[in-house]
Amino acid sequence: MLLAASETAPQKISTIGLPRSYKRKQMIIDTTLMASPLSSRLVLKLIPVLCLLLFHTTAAQKFEPYQLNGGLVCAVAAQNYVVIATDTRFMGEGGYDILSRDHIESRLWMAGDDATPLSLHNRQQQQQELDGQPAASTAFVPDGANLVQSCVLSHAPTFVGSAGCNADCEALKRYVQADLRSAVYFGECSTIAPVESVATLLSQMLYSRRGFPFYSFCVAAGLSIDSDDLDNSGGGGGGGKVYVYDAIGSYEQVAVATSGTGRELLQPILDGKFRTISVKQAGSRMTTTVLTQVDCTCEEAVQNIVAAYRSVSEREIGVGDKLVICVVQQQKSPGTSVACHTFVVPLKEH
């Protein structure tokens, strides 16, 4: 019995030569262990387990409502055309999972009551050509590009590109299109909303969710055409307008806009390639301080955008696969008709 008791009793640690305060603490510990040796040892062994369980429970309860799914959108405005482009890479959580290489539905879309979803595949001829209007020219389409849509319209469509969280981009797209349909139904606007109205609506929609904002960074682009401003030479009336947004609706009209993953690389490249001009506002003696249009041909603009995206795709893992470009160009013949072209350019596939 004495041997068994000595085996279960805790071993005392020698305190010879140690400070008096340490001796006092050691005496308290020895007294506690001798009072209930089994329960004390059990508690000491369970402490690391309890800490580990507490850590995992806290991590499991953490909720992250946003996810960055990539996307790089840009737009360029000129006197008689506007160009908007985006890549098609859809990134997963962490930025290293590629969930899709052909994502376009919530990345680039047309705002309007009769909005047609974009597609990366060739469609049947949708040449909604007007009577007496010639076929639209596609001389600016670069070599190796796949032309998926080309049509002549009586109105200028407005395109919106959004990058960020795919769920928020899709929700924002549906809200904007629903509001435009209801505005047309109640007679608040015509069938086709002008680009200025769409830009204001998009800003108000983003600002209304400022408390729990859409994780969506947008670019809006379209042609503003007024038949009274058309000159007789054709192609001189109207003008391209591009707006860039932050997540809570603050926006600005610019000549070259970029947003999304890799915009820090793309913006300086495009700024160096394009020459911008100042546009005098109609009916005003003042000239805007912000340059709102570029001074180059449509073919040069498309070439600059393609070269810039290819450069960024070599350095940014979230950009690549395909480049979708939409060009809205005013026809050279008299009238308010516009040509709309959509084509796909291959990019690097990491």
Q: Tell me the per-residue pLDDT of 1-52, one tens digit each, with 9 for 90 and over.
A: 444 444 444 455 454 555 555 555 555 555 555 555 556 666 667 777 777 7
- Joined tokens for residue 214: 């859409």
Tens of pLDDT, residue by residue over 195-225, are 999 999 999 999 999 999 999 999 999 998 7
Q: Report the distance separating Cα 46 and Cα 43, nearest Å.
A: 5
Residue 170 has pLDDT above 90, yes or no: yes
Position 117 pLDDT exceeds 80: no
Q: Where are the beta strands (DSSP E) in the chain?
A: 72-77, 81-87, 90-91, 98-100, 108-111, 146-153, 158-164, 216-224, 239-245, 251-254, 256-260, 276-277, 293-294, 322-330, 338-346
* Main-chain phi, psi angles of 48, to 5 degrees: -60, -35
Superfamily of domain 72-346: Aminohydrolase, N-terminal nucleophile (Ntn) domain (3.60.20.10)
Residue 126: the pLDDT is 45
Q: Which of 7-11, 29-33, 294-298, 312-316 has the lowest mean pLDDT?
A: 7-11
- Residue pair 341/147 in contact (Cβ under 8 Å)? The answer is yes
Any idea where the domains of the chain sit in the sequence? 18-61, 72-346
Angle, vertex CA 339, rays to CA 336 and CA 342, nearest 5: 150
| Residues in Cβ contact with 40 at an 8 Å cutoff, skipping those fewer than 6 apart | 32, 33
Residue 167 CA to residue 333 CA, distance in Å, equals 42
pLDDT of residue 5: 45
CA distance 323 to 195: 23
What is the pLDDT confidence band of residue 331, given thresholds at 50, 70 and 90? confident
| pLDDT greater than 90 at residue 283 | no
Let me know the angle formed at the C-alpha of 298 by 296 and 302, rounded to the nearest 5 degrees: 105
Hey, how many other C-beta atoms are within 10 angstroms of the C-beta on 214?
24
Report the percent of the chain where pLDDT is more than 90. 45
Mean pLDDT of the chain: 78
Question: Under DSSP, is residue 334 helix (H, G, I), strand (E, B) or coil?
Answer: coil
